Amino acid sequence: MKPQQPLAKRLCVLGLLAGFCVHAAAAAQTPALDDKPAFIDSLIERMTLEEKIGQLRLISIGGDMPRPRILEELAAGHIGGTFNTVTRHDNRPMQDAAQRSRMKIPIFFAYDVVHGHRTIFPIGLGLASSWDMDTIARSGRVAAIEASADGLDMTFAPTVDISRDPRWGRTSEGFGEDPYLVSEIARTMVKAYQGKSPAARDSITASVKHFALYGAVEGGRDYNVVDMSPMRMHQDFLPPYRAAVEAGAGGVMVALNAINGVPASANSWLLRDLLRRDWGFRGITVSDHGAISELMRHGVARDGREAARLAIKAGIDMSMADSLYRDELPALVKAGEVDMGEIDAAVREVLGAKYDMGLFHDPYRRIGVAADDPQDVNAESRLHRSEARDVARQSIVLLENHQQTLPLKKRGTIALVGPLADSPIDMLGSWSAAGVAGQAVTLRQGMREALGDAATLGYARGANVTDDQHMVDYLNFLNWDNPEVVQDPRSAAEMIAEAVALANKADVIVAAVGESRGMSHEASSRTSLQLPPSQQRLLEALKQTGKPLVLVLMNGRPLELGWAKANADAILETWFSGTEGGHAIAEVLFGDYNPSGRLPISFPRSVGQIPTYYNHLRVGRPYVEGKPGNYTSQYFEEPTGPLYPFGYGLSYTQFELSDVSLSSRELSRGGTLEARVTVRNSGQREGATVVQLYIQDLVASVIRPVKELKAFRKVMLKAGEEQEVRFSLTEDDLKFFNAQLQQVAESGEFEVQIGLDSQRVQSQRFTLH
Ligand code: NOJ
């Protein structure tokens, strides 16, 4: 990107010819707030190099330096923005300090508001399971309202990294494996956070992350490298970031990983060519935590000076929690290794983002006045419980339900067991922003309230999440003073015996098992997708009682559920469902809500089958169901394909789909073709399902996937009701990246597949001319 000359300089150059240079320079000292470019140019023109570099620093409160030092640096104009404070009371003195600086440039306040702020919504996988954009938007809007009311201007979200490897702990944060679904959600979330405009008092600027391809780290091991063909990148992994950019995201957080040998933080192809030139991104790029220093560990920078030079030249505007811009840029500019124009370009983006946030018009736009500060930041009245409950309900996926075990009757005796049945912190999931564990409704609390006096609810913990002390220590590493994984001191045998005794007296067992929230988090990659042995042993003992066994899973990644599928009577996937999770799960268990969630990610049968994703490319020797044969693409000692496919989920009612009918067998370029199907609720109660449309390009110049989601519709139907669902297809839906990376739709035959999950579909063919 070519940096622009400051306005006054431009006017001066022109003005010299006309003799009004002095006048133009004077005019630049009175910035016109209504004229964004002129206003920003006039600021840049008057800033010292130190002040400019200060704008490029995003520091973490708490981590980087002591509070008094931060205030000094702010007053000197040496900080552009901060993150990790969550109250107006904390933020106000920092903005005051910035307002005492020579240039009085406001700072912005950022935070990881990923799935809620004070009210915590389900984790990303849970939100995606709703397949409902209005529902997802509601979660983002509430988060923005709550975060902005706490004086925050920006969130490091949404996380739109496609993940096809559930070993990666951050799979939990994203929205699953599919480019189309994740792109829809990316767009929805950006619009929800930013509201009518990023300048609105109740909006926060979205900084989409982690650009790019972070979800594809090799082996699912966090911070690992990514090596990927350009075709796959463009086709499958880049679309969600692009969707967020096109929806107007004001920020982009750059990923920690390398891409094909070049760390994202030093990758000018990624940041300058693709993001800014090709996608037209206007906004700020921020590095991830400490990423610029990490360029030395990646081995692409000899020292801090080289790291800073690579990052600024690649297009990183703001350095996060990193002192290298402050320490190295001044000398780099003086030595001519970095142009002032390059610094100015980055500063212009930072000031532009602040302008768009409305901070030049009012630096206290979201901080407000002290007299209006909430007395108690955690007050109940500040939460949005009914929204959280509604969203959480829709995020729950019913995986199994033999002999209509669910819904449970509100009578008799229920044995609730499991280490996650009454663990408030785990309800919240990772990245729970300013959420308070004590305000989360556990399953035990939710069931007790739902039952009232109607039935007896017994509870036994039954097991620790894990008995592996190494795992416990790892998960508690960052919270020694307040450990999250608290071990029950009793022996495993004692705990199991208590649970079994309880189960023996009960009519049904509800077992809440899975992962503690820290197990599905940054830096929490796993080699196994199994339940830890402590919980597996508990389940096996419970199974021996012969009582109906209902599993309520809480986890942040697909788990290996072979045993559960074979032995449980019902399985509910509830992810980490947030502040109101316990109420929502209880509603589903007792049938007050008919589950409607659908998986946004495939569940592999075993860790050895990873990657398992539905939209894989075709091969020359495909495995054919029922006719496996030797020399076909499969692992021979296990059935092929996922245990639970993408798009799958059951209901307490049944749905039937008619055959697919097409308005024509031909689609012309520029034309439209309609695919129709009738969905009927053939069961006994009202419920919702998701009608999913997939396309397969039958013959193309490059290998195309076996199918790709192109549209979906969530439909609510009363018992016996039916509805025709119509999808319009155009040439755009058939486009893909060819070997030359051009986005094209090639003439020829296509298959439309419509189903209620990605596997069981009805199909029809048509031809594109
Ligand atoms: C590191 C994480 O990778 C990123 O997602 C997060 O936004 C930053 N830390 C700031 O907390």
DSSP-assigned states of every residue in 615-662: TPBP-SS---TT---SSSSS-TTS-SS-SB-TT--B-SS-EEE---EE
Encode 32-95 in three state secondary structure: CCCCHHHHHHHHHHHCCHHHHHHHCEEEECCCCCCHHHHHHHHHCCCCCEEECCCCHHHHHHHH
What confidence score (pLDDT) does residue 480 get? 73
- Convert the pLDDT of each residue in 342-371 to its tens digit: 999 999 999 999 999 999 999 999 999 999
Mutate to test the pocket of ligand 1, among 64, 109, 209, 287 (most ligand atoms within 8 A of CB): 209
The whole-number pLDDT of residue 29 equals 54
pLDDT at 3: 37
Query: Quick one: pLDDT at residue 629?
Result: 80
- Specify the 3-state DSSP secondary structure of 136: helix
Query: Which residue numbers in the chain have pLDDT < 70?
Result: 1-31, 63-64
170 CB near ligand 1 (under 6 Å): no
CA-CA distance, 287 to 320, in Å (whole number)?
Answer: 5
Pocket of ligand 1 contains residue 289 by CB under 6 Å: yes
Residue of 41, 90, 161, 288 marked active site: 288
Q: In the prediction, which pLDDT does 64 show?
A: 66
Give me ligand 1 centre to Cα 529, in Å: 24
> In this structure, is the dihedral angle defined by the CA atoms of residues 219, 221, 227 and 229, taken in order, positive or negative?
positive
- Which ranges in 452-532 belong to alpha helices (H)? 469-476, 492-504
User: How far is ligand 1, taken at its centre, from the CA of residue 128, in Å?
Assistant: 21
The total of other beta-carbon atoms located within 10 Å of residue 663's CB is 15
Q: How far apart are CA 421 and CA 447, in angstroms?
A: 10
Q: Which residue has the tokens 């240039």?
A: 103
Q: Which residue CA neighbors atom 3 of ligand 1 most closely? A: 288
Where does residue 477 rank: exposed (0-12), middle (13-18), buried (19+ CB within 10 A)?
exposed
Ligand 1 atom at shortest distance from the alpha carbon of 159: 5
The HSE-up count of residue 650 (CA atoms within 13 Å, CB side) is: 17
Task: Report the first-to-last Cα separation within the chain, whole angstroms.
Answer: 39
Catalytic-residue membership of 288: yes
How much distance in Å is there from the Cα of 285 to the middle of ligand 1? 14
* Cα(273)–Cα(235) distance, integer angstroms: 17
Atom 7 of ligand 1, nearest CA residue: 156
Distance CA 46, CA 57 (A): 19
Output the pLDDT for position 530. 98
pLDDT of residue 18: 36
- By most ligand atoms within 8 Å of CB, the mutation choice from 64, 85, 112, 161 for ligand 1 is 112
Euclidean distance between CA atoms 438 and 485, whole angstroms: 15
Distance, CA of 512 to chain centre: 24
- Check if 222 has its Cβ closer than 6 Å to any atom of ligand 1: no
Domains with residue ranges and CATH for the chain? 1-106+287-357 (3.20.20.300), 391-600 (3.40.50.1700), 655-768 (2.60.40.10)
The pLDDT value recorded for residue 63 is 64
Mutate to test the pocket of ligand 1, among 111, 253, 254, 287 (most ligand atoms within 8 A of CB): 253
Q: Report pTM.
A: 0.95
Summarised one tens digit per residue, pLDDT across range 435-448 is 999 999 999 999 99
162 contacts 237 by C-beta, under 8 angstroms: yes
The two tokens of residue 216 are: 């594809």
Q: What is the pLDDT of residue 194?
A: 98
